[in-house]
Structure 1
Amino acid sequence: MKRTLIIVGLLLVLVAMWWLLRQEPLGLPSQEKAAPKEPAKVAAALPPLTPEQKQQQTQTNPEKLAGFKAAFATPINLYGRVIDQHGDPVASANVEYSILSFENRPKGQLSSRADGTFQITGHRGASIAVWVSKDGYRRLPGVDGEVGSDHRFAFGSKHPPASSPQEPIVFTLQKPGVIEPLIHVEERNYRLPRDGSPTEIELHPGGNSAHRVVLRCWNKELEPRPQTEPRYDWRLEITAPGGGITERKDIMAFEAPETGYEPKAIIDMPVEAKPSWSRSAQRSYFIRFADNVFARVNVEMIAGGDHFVVWESHLNPKTGSRNLDTDPAQR
């Protein structure tokens, strides 16, 4: 009897537990059941292109296509003449050219005649690039649209270049003067103090110590400044003790001037130098020393990061000679 009551009791407990598990959680009315999640919205697919739209996408503008074909089919007839800096003709100059055309950039090479003239004719293309050179001569860069020793001519443009045997396009090479032995200090890096302490560079290493320059730099790159201000003040001064210095503005000038020298050359880059401010600067100078010896130097100041100057110089040890020319083959 007692055993039967125990079994009945266990069954009642199990039934009660089953009944409780079926009920809603306490405190959550049935109407507040979580709503079933809506299916994620999928972007509607774009309608397929109509045949007309496909044709518009693949069809090239007929006018543009015709203009493109016409540009590459432009006749190229170029007449040129090679002279030196004095206006004298340069015979047997090497003339190289490359044409931009449908024929995979045809290239060619020829020589100028005794009067310096040459012609490139019988080709078609959009443009032609021409280079002239000759052993013993320097090539000149084109500046402000000038031809110099090479140039690219756009024949397929609205304003193609005009040339003829009577009015050829002029290319220029520089014939060096008398070559005198120069003392060359090859390009080298010099670290400079940032506080204006002097750094000396010898232009005649192992020779006359009077031929030296002094560099001083003031740099505020490491001083505190707003994070929004990338600029900082820096300044470089170059002096030749007892002598003078002047800027060499024409990179193809190889004779030092007689006059116009100043006690120092200054590259000043204050924060206010907007928009021309830069962490670096390149200059070229002529120097006249106290004993009337001349030199030319190339300077590049790197005033950011490692902070150093790149220096190269040529000095003519012959007193009074302003000739600072070099053999083009050795440059």
Structure 2
Amino acid sequence: MKKALIALALIAIASLLYWVGPKPAPLAASENDVAIPVRPPAELVSPSPNKPSSPRSELPSNVRMAVAFATPITFYGRVIDQHGTPVANATVAGSATATLGSTTKVATKTDDAGNFTLQSKGIRLFVSVNRPGFIHLFPGQKSGMFSERGFSYVAGVGDGIHEPDPSRPIVFYLYKPGPSEALVHLKAKPRQLKRTGEPIEVALDQDHGANHKIWLSCKSAESKTADGRFSWRFEVRAVSGKIQQRAGNLDFEAPSVGYALSDIVDMDQAIARPQWVDSTRRSYFVHFDDDTYARVDVEMIAFGDYFVEVEGYYNPKTGSRNLEAHSSP
């Protein structure tokens, strides 16, 4: 018992001497030591269920819809012809989608510079321009030109929200016909062809000498694939002349160069659908050897009654490539 008390006394004396005695100096930091900053603990913030949102998204759906249909619409446009000349006094018709299933109509006229402004309310505006003596261009009818188009004023109803800018009006086109000449018109008419490839000739000037003709032939194989595909070959030529494809239905001036002896559609049964088809429609310019010109529309139906439909406009005026004109009786 005495030994235990003596041991406890020695431990107590040693502890007292440690706390009241001198402390060892701290080690000096060497140049290779790196200080590691101590960051304060990050403040944890839980997502707030009451995060602010747009005022419109907080509204009931029927109210949001009413707000959308009440969106102010301002539209700036300009009308020119295919040559870039302003079209004054053109009629501009606007149709604004104001409610589900109904529209609000607005209209105006272009000024001397071809400019116009429309105002309404709604989610989308469809604009169409016209003027007597000009041709209205539907989308895709002539590359890069149109006489009508739609514009969205709220998100989710088109290809982006239209941002009106008076310094950058949207350009609309109207096609201005050129000077007219009397053309001989061959009206469209179906003509029977033989599947064996025996050709026929069609005169474009049947009532004016019948000396300017096109040659047509189509030959089909009898064998077919399980899904009905068969090989067929359609050829178009000009008798005493040459042809070339016409790019668009508003190309009225025949080119002076670029003609070939024939044009061929070669449809092999090995071609997969939808590339394989059993009909074709093409338009041509024709330059005859006597330096007269024509334009021809051809449609070949290589099934059923097996026929070709031909419509043509022939200009009997030597050297004139103008095929944008009134047809003669």
Bin of the TM-score, shorter chain as denominator length? 0.7 to 0.9
Query: Match of 1:313?
Result: 312
TM-fit CA distance, 1:129: 1.5
Say how many residue pairs are matched. 265
Q: Contact between 1:136 and 1:327, CA under 8 Å: does it hold in 2?
A: no
Pair 73,214 (structure 1): closer, same or farther in 2 beyond 3 Å: same
Separation in structure 1 between the aligned mates of residue 298 and residue 68 of structure 2, nearest angstrom: 44
Name the aligned partner's letter for residue 91 of structure 1. A
TM-fit CA distance, 1:149: 0.8
Name the aligned partner's letter for residue 320 of structure 2. S
Pair 303,67 (structure 1): closer, same or farther in 2 beyond 3 Å: farther
- 1:149 aligned to 147, 150, 162, which one? 147
Pair 264,156 (structure 1): closer, same or farther in 2 beyond 3 Å: same
Runs of 5+ unmatched residues, structure 2: 1-57
Give the structure-2-normalised TM-score. 0.74
Q: Which moved more, 1:69-78 or 1:270-279?
A: 69-78
Pair 282,66 (structure 1): closer, same or farther in 2 beyond 3 Å: farther
TM-fit CA distance, 1:85: 0.6
Runs of 5+ unmatched residues, structure 1: 1-60
Name the aligned partner's letter for residue 298 of structure 2. V
TM-fit CA distance, 1:164: 2.2
Query: Match of 2:110?
Result: 112
Separation in structure 2 between the aligned mates of residue 147 and residue 128 of structure 1, nearest angstrom: 19
Query: Match of 2:85?
Result: 88
Paired residues for 1:1-12 under 5 Å:
none
TM-fit CA distance, 1:272: 2.7
Name the aligned partner's letter for residue 282 of structure 1. R
Identity %: 38
Separation in structure 1 between the aligned mates of residue 282 and residue 252 of structure 2, nearest angstrom: 15
* 4+ long deviations beyond 3 Å: 61-71, 144-147
Separation in structure 1 between the aligned mates of residue 117 and residue 318 of structure 2, nearest angstrom: 47
1:247-274 CA-to-partner distances (Å, cap 9, x unmatched) read 0112211100000000001122212333
Query: Match of 2:52?
Result: none
Query: Match of 2:302?
Result: 303
Pair 295,69 (structure 1): closer, same or farther in 2 beyond 3 Å: same
Q: Contact between 1:80 and 1:163, CA under 8 Å: does it hold in 2?
A: no
Q: Secondary structure, in 3 states, of the residue corresponding to 1:314? A: strand
TM-fit CA distance, 1:82: 0.4
1:183-209 CA-to-partner distances (Å, cap 9, x unmatched) read 111221112111111111110012233
Q: Secondary structure, in 3 states, of the residue corresponding to 2:99? A: coil
Q: Secondary structure, in 3 states, of the residue corresponding to 1:106? A: strand
Name the aligned partner's letter for residue 250 of structure 2. M
CA RMSD of aligned residues (A): 2.4
Pair 63,244 (structure 1): closer, same or farther in 2 beyond 3 Å: farther
Pair 248,255 (structure 1): closer, same or farther in 2 beyond 3 Å: same
Give the structure-1-normalised TM-score. 0.74
Separation in structure 2 between the aligned mates of residue 88 and residue 268 of structure 1, nearest angstrom: 43
Separation in structure 2 between the aligned mates of residue 244 and residue 67 of structure 1, nearest angstrom: 64
Query: Match of 2:181?
Result: 180
